């Protein structure tokens, strides 16, 4: 327990990222305000898609990089990511005037790769496996002296992501249930640490695609369980294709998280469409999973009056977004992004 990120660490991270990351709003999700007035459960969406890089990852990346000493900054940074963390590292490095090298799978969405290059980062493409990404980043760090900025298995990153939870409770002290997308686990680790410290009675639930349910399996097994890249690669939610939750995030989940719910590919697409039409928010597939859990799996969630779903990112391929939005209501479609 002593290795878990504390509330003071998250509060210090909030000070570091102030003025860089946006304090995103809690957007009401409701076509008709009458049910809320009648006392029915209310859903608020934490719109992390409104960050400068279109995803929550800026919080952790800037928190970690800004904590480096001057000598480390001068040598530059390296990371591995499927897209959103890479873009966040590129943005943070550019803001701090340092070099950034990004190891990305060749299957990463073009929109995310192009955004990284536009920010001045150098991109190294590798096979879409966790091993290839991590090994290449480690080799580059050793060869060039780069500071490694892990995408999720790092206390500095987790503290930065935890500022999302800090803001949720500050803005809605009555929050009952917080729904958090799970990939490598950095976001849910930080959010759960903040929420548990500030509102112990609130419940924290992780959400992931049923085609990439390693976190669900890990919680059931009592240890981190990995999935093959071929399995996680089936989901449309490219940002949630991490094959195994990180060790430090897993420790936070065991300590703070109340459960994990999975959603289908069709439910993810339907949630993307409803977020756009009803909340006027653009969500990439990974960003829609938490809202999908509320919309289609309410019976599996803890009871409450105020729910918050974290819309973790909005960096969606334009062609995929057009396909999702153009389908008739109720028709989710199949396939990968």
Closest CA to 184 of 230, 133, 220, 135: 133
pLDDT tens-digit series, residues 105-126? 998 888 889 999 999 999 999 9
CB-CB contact of 187 with 180 (8 Å): yes
Task: Give the mean pLDDT of 54-79.
Answer: 96
| 334 — pLDDT class (breaks 50, 70, 90) | very low
Taking 50 as the threshold, does the pLDDT of residue 294 lie above it? yes
Taking 70 as the threshold, does the pLDDT of residue 333 lie above it? no
Which among 46, 57, 192, 309 is annotated as catalytic? Answer: 57
Specify burial of residue 38 (Cβ count, 10 A radius: 0-12, 13-18, 19+): exposed
% residues pLDDT > 70 (the chain): 93
Q: What residues contact residue 229 under an 8 Å CB cut-off, 6+ apart?
A: 128, 129, 130, 241, 243
Predicted pLDDT at 13: 98
Which among 82, 218, 309, 312 is annotated as catalytic? Answer: 312
Predicted pLDDT at 109: 82
CA distance 225 to 208: 14
Q: Set out the domains of the chain in order of their start, with CATH numbers.
A: 7-54+154-326 (3.40.50.1100), 57-148 (3.40.50.1100)
Predicted pLDDT at 33: 52
The chain-wide mean pLDDT, for the chain, equals 92
Our answer to whether residue 6 is catalytic in this structure is: no
Task: Give the mean pLDDT of 240-263.
Answer: 96
Predicted pLDDT at 239: 85
Predicted pLDDT at 292: 98
Taking 90 as the threshold, does the pLDDT of residue 331 lie above it? no
Our answer to whether residue 46 is catalytic in this structure is: no
């Amino acid at each position: 327990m002593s290795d878990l990120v504390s509330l003071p660490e998250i509060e210090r991270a909030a000070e570091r990222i102030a003025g860089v990351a946006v304090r995103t709003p809690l957007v009401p999700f409701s076509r008709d305000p009458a049910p809320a007035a009648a006392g029915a459960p209310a859903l608020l969406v934490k719109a992390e898609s409104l960050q400068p890089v279109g995803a929550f990852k800026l919080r952790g990346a800037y928190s970690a990089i800004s904590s480096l000493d001057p000598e480390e900054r001068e040598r530059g940074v390296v990371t591995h990511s499927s897209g959103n963390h890479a873009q966040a590292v590129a943005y943070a490095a550019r803001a701090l005037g340092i070099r950034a090298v990004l190891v990305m799978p060749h299957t990463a969405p073009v929109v995310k790769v192009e955004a990284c290059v536009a920010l001045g980062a150098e991109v190294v493409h590798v096979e879409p496996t966790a091993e290839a990404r991590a090994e290449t980043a480690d080799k580059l760090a050793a060869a060039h002296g780069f500071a490694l900025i892990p995408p999720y298995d790092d206390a500095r990153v987790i503290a930065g992501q935890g500022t999302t939870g800090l803001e949720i409770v500050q803005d809605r002290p009555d929050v009952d249930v917080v729904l958090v997308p799970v990939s490598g686990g950095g976001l849910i680790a930080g959010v759960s640490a903040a929420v548990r410290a500030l509102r112990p009675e609130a419940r924290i639930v992780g959400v992931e695609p049923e085609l990439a349910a390693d976190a669900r399996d890990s919680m059931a097994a009592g240890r981190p369980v990995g999935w093959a890249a071929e399995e996680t690669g089936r989901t449309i939610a490219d940002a949630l294709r991490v094959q195994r939750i990180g060790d430090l995030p897993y420790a936070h989940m065991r300590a703070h998280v109340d459960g994990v719910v999975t959603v289908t590919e069709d439910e993810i697409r339907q949630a993307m469409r409803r977020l756009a039409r009803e909340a006027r928010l653009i969500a990439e597939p990974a960003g829609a999973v938490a809202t999908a859990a509320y919309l289609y799996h309410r019976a599996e969630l803890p009871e409450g009056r105020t729910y918050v779903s974290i819309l973790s990112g909005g960096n969606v391929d334009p062609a995929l977004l057009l396909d999702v939005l153009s389908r008739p209501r109720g028709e989710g479609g199949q396939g990968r992004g």
